[in-house]
Amino acid sequence: MELKWLEDFISLSNSGNFRLSATQRFVSQPAFSRRIKSLENWVGAELIDRSCQPICLTEAGREFKPVALHIVRCAYQVRNGIRAKDSADQEKICFSTLSTLSHSFMPAWLKQLKPHSKLGSVSMRSDYMGIDAYLRALESGEVDYFINYEDSNSALKIDVDKFPSLRIGSERLVPVVSPDEQGKPTWWLPDRPQSPIPYLQTNTNKDRNYSLLYWSVNSLINKHYPDLTFVPVYEATITTSIRVMVLEGYGVAWLPLSIIANDLAQGTLVRAAMEEDDIEMDIKIFKYFDANEAKLTKFWQVIQKHGV
């Protein structure tokens, strides 16, 4: 039995889809299916009910999942403990966060904490496919902290008992568009334009656990502009890519103020709606409730005192 089989099984049990989990695990779908079958052969029972879509766990699978989670977490905890002994004087912290936050928020925030924390080194992961994947990495001990947006009006919530959090900042998503020759917005949403509005959005996956930004923006559109027709013309996982497309005149997008403040000041981007259509987001840091290494406890205390 291999550890990666257990991680494959956990991914599949959460996604309910062989193709999606294979992508998240960076293997081909046939190879991923073979690894799931190898685990079932090792256990001696079918763990996956393949007759339904999305797939679900069999009774044996439901019984086995908490064991798999425990084994994976223990393995990473032991590994991390061994690594810590090899570099006892190095208080390395591993963060995971969205790519936008990794360059628009993290550098200044870490600089703010630097006088109060003895960070030997920092690593940053932004390559997980969706919120579930980030939380699994946090739960398994693969990363120490997860930093993410949180919208108080969104239906997407993270289990606060399992993943306690601290608010460490804020962000505002602003509806923007490129200006016309007179410097006015190409589309002004309060005027209720009748023609379809080209719309640029984050992510192509509509899974509720995949993109908080996607669901927050679309929730606002459905609430404030149910009579308008928004036609997606561009989708990307990285908001800086969307910014470039908006600058080129491709349509309307809600973008983080932190990455477009200069564009607004220079007039290369302009608002497409009033400030009431901005989306206020908290930036929060999450940890796993059972993570009690001394360095993590100490760093959490530093965040509580100096990290907001």
Q: What is the CATH number of domain 170-281?
A: 3.40.190.10
Band of residue 152 on the pLDDT scale cut at 50, 70, 90: low
End-to-end Cα spacing for the chain? 44
Model confidence, pTM = 0.65
Three-state DSSP at 236 gives strand
- pLDDT tens sequence across 114-139: 888 777 688 898 888 777 888 888 88
CATH level 2 (architecture), domain 3-83 = Orthogonal Bundle (1.10)
pLDDT at position 212 is: 66
Q: In the structure encoding, which two tokens stand for residue 94, read together?
A: 């591993």
Q: Where are the domains of the chain?
A: 3-83, 88-167+283-306, 170-281
Tokens for 188, please give them. 């002004």
More confident site: 9 or 293: 9
Residues 6+ apart with CB under 8 A from 105: 97, 147, 169, 171, 258, 283
pLDDT on residue 208: 42
Pick the CATH number of 88-167+283-306 from 3.40.190.10, 3.90.1580.10, 3.40.50.300, 3.40.630.30: 3.40.190.10
Two domains, one topology: 88-167+283-306 and 170-281: yes
Single-letter code of the amino acid located at 281:
M
- Summarised one tens digit per residue, pLDDT across range 205-244 is 544 444 667 777 888 888 889 999 999 999 887 888 999 9
Tens-digit pLDDT profile for residues 29-83 = 999 999 999 999 999 999 999 998 888 999 999 999 999 999 998 988 887 777 6
- What is the Cα Rg of the chain in Å? 22
Q: What pLDDT digit, counting tens, does each position of 251-280 carry?
A: 999 999 999 999 999 999 999 999 988 988
The DSSP line for 112-143 is: HHGGG---S-EEEE---SSHHHHHHHHHHTSS
Counting every residue written for the chain, the total comes to 308
Which is nearest to 255 in space by CA: 266, 265, 244? Answer: 244
Q: What is the mean pLDDT of residues 99-110?
A: 88
| DSSP three-state, residue 103 | helix
CA distance 3 to 5: 5
DSSP letters spanning 292-305: --HHHHHHHHHHHH
- What Cα–Cα distance (Å) separates residue 246 from each residue in 180, 240, 249? 12, 10, 5
For residue 85, what pLDDT is reported? 63
Stretch 156-162: mean pLDDT, rounded?
A: 77
